[in-house]
Amino acid sequence: MRKSLLLIMVVMTVMGNALSAYARDISFTQEDRDRIIRLEIKVEEGQKSLQRQIDDLYALILWGFGILFGGMGVLIGFVIWDRRTALAPAIKKNKELEEREDLLERALKEFAKQEPRLAEVLRTMRLM
């Protein structure tokens, strides 16, 4: 009990001294007020300068993204164009082969009208 009472008294004494330290009145002089005003002006000028730099960075980022996406669009267009030009000969050859197959099939069917053995073979192959 004595220890706790002693502890409470020590804490109260320390708190009382701390509170009295904050109770003093600190008055500003005109010189102090002028310093604060000058400091505020410098801070505002610094903020304006910083805002201009941020605006410049923002514009640079927009340009960078514009160039990046523009380049990507050009690249996609080139790939599509290149694929078309690369596939054009294969498509042409395929079309020629299909036309030739159709001609051969028609010729065989016409000849099968005169030859019954060929007609029988074509029927077994399900071509007639």
Residue 20 lies in a domain: no
Residue 52 lies in a domain: yes
Read off the pLDDT of residues 53-70 as tens digits, 9 standing for 90 and up. Answer: 999 999 999 999 999 999
Residue 108 lies in a domain: yes
**Overall number of domains in the chain:** 1
Look at residue 66 in the predicted model and tell me its pLDDT.
96
Residue 119 lies in a domain: yes
Residue 75 lies in a domain: yes
Question: Which residues, including other chains, have CB under 8 Å from residue 128's CB and lie 6 or more apart?
Answer: 109, 112, 119, 122
Q: Is the pTM of this model over 0.85?
A: no
Measured CA to CA, the distance from residue 20 to residue 9 in angstroms comes to: 17
Measured CA to CA, the distance from residue 99 to residue 25 in angstroms comes to: 106
The pLDDT of 96-107, averaged and rounded, is 94
**DSSP, res 78:** H
The boundaries of the domain holding residue 76 are: 32-124
Residue 109 lies in a domain: yes
- 40 vs 9, which has greater pLDDT? 40
